[in-house]
Amino acid sequence: MSTKEEADVKPQGDVGAEESTRRLRTHTEKMKQVYDAKVQSHADKLKGFSDLIDSHINASATTPNEHQKLEEIKNVIRAEFENYEEEMKELCEYLERENTSTSIDELETQNNQYQTISIKVNRTLDKLEQIMDLLQKDNQSVHGGSTSSSSSKTSKYSERKAEATKVKLKWAEEATAIKRKQSQLEYEERIRIANVEREKAELEAQLALIKIKEEKETLEAEDKVLQDDNQTPQLDPNAPPFQSQNYLGSLNYQPQHVQGSFGFQPQPIQVQPMHYAHSNGMLPQYTTGIIPNYDAFNVSTFLLKKDLVPQRMSKFDDDPSSYMVWKGTFRNVVAEVGANSFEQLDLLLRWLGPQSARQATSIRRANPNDANIALRKIWERLDERYGAPELIDATLRERLQNFPRITLPKDKQRLYELVDILAEVQSIKSDTRYAAMLSYYDTSSGVNPILAKFPPHIQNKWMDRAVRYKDTNRVTFPPFTDLSKFVGLVGQSDIFSKCPTKNARVPDQMSDKNFPTEKKMYRDR
The answer to whether residues 379 and 403 belong to one domain is no
The answer to whether residues 419 and 379 belong to one domain is no
Residue 11: cis peptide before it, omega within 30 degrees of 0 = no
The answer to whether residues 417 and 364 belong to one domain is no
The answer to whether residues 31 and 151 belong to one domain is yes
* Count of domains forming the chain: 3
Please indicate, yes or no, if residue 507 is contained in any of the structural domains.
yes
With a CB cutoff of 8 Å and minimum separation 6, the contacts of 282 are 273, 274, 275, 276
Please indicate, yes or no, if residue 209 is contained in any of the structural domains.
no
Give the largest CA-CA distance in the chain: 163
H-type alpha helices, 23-143: 29-61, 67-98, 101-139
**Of 341, 343, 362, nearest to 351 (Cα)?**
343
Of the three residues 355, 387, 419, the one that is the final residue of a domain is 387
Of the three residues 181, 199, 217, the one that is the final residue of a domain is 199
- Please give the pLDDT value at position 304: 62
The answer to whether residues 380 and 440 belong to one domain is no
The answer to whether residues 398 and 361 belong to one domain is no
Of the three residues 333, 362, 387, the one that is the final residue of a domain is 387
- Please give the pLDDT value at position 22: 63
The answer to whether residues 450 and 502 belong to one domain is yes
- Please give the pLDDT value at position 378: 93
Is the distance from CB of 321 to CB of 397 less than 8 angstroms?
A: no
- Please give the pLDDT value at position 286: 45
H or E segment to which residue 271 belongs: strand 270-275
* CA distance linking residue 99 with residue 203, whole number of Å: 38
* CA distance linking residue 231 with residue 229, whole number of Å: 6
Mean pLDDT by runs of 10 across the 525 residues of the chain is 41 45 78 88 89 84 76 86 89 87 87 88 86 74 54 69 79 85 86 90 88 85 69 50 46 44 44 46 46 52 63 84 87 86 89 91 90 92 89 87 84 84 87 86 88 88 90 89 86 54 40 38 39
* CA distance linking residue 232 with residue 235, whole number of Å: 10
The answer to whether residues 341 and 424 belong to one domain is no
Please indicate, yes or no, if residue 288 is contained in any of the structural domains.
no
Please indicate, yes or no, if residue 305 is contained in any of the structural domains.
yes
With a CB cutoff of 8 Å and minimum separation 6, the contacts of 110 are 11, 12, 46, 88, 91, 92, 95
360 C-beta neighbours (distance < 10 Å), count: 22
With a CB cutoff of 8 Å and minimum separation 6, the contacts of 377 are 363, 367
The answer to whether residues 59 and 139 belong to one domain is yes
3-class secondary structure, 286:
strand
* CA distance linking residue 101 with residue 180, whole number of Å: 7
Which domain, by its residues, includes 325? 296-387
The answer to whether residues 395 and 303 belong to one domain is no
Please indicate, yes or no, if residue 224 is contained in any of the structural domains.
no
Asked whether the whole model's pTM tops 0.85, one would answer no
The answer to whether residues 54 and 120 belong to one domain is yes
Please indicate, yes or no, if residue 481 is contained in any of the structural domains.
yes
- Please give the pLDDT value at position 415: 84
**Of 396, 434, 407, nearest to 497 (Cα)?**
407
Please indicate, yes or no, if residue 436 is contained in any of the structural domains.
yes
* CA distance linking residue 98 with residue 178, whole number of Å: 17
∠ CA 299-304-307, rounded to 5°: 130
DSSP annotation string for 416-485: HHHHHHHHHHHHHHTSHHHHTTTGGGGSHHHHHHHHTTS-HHHHHHHHHHHHHHHHHHT-SS--HHHHHH
Is the Cα torsion angle 442, 445, 450, 456 positive or negative in sign? positive
Please indicate, yes or no, if residue 180 is contained in any of the structural domains.
yes
The answer to whether residues 312 and 428 belong to one domain is no
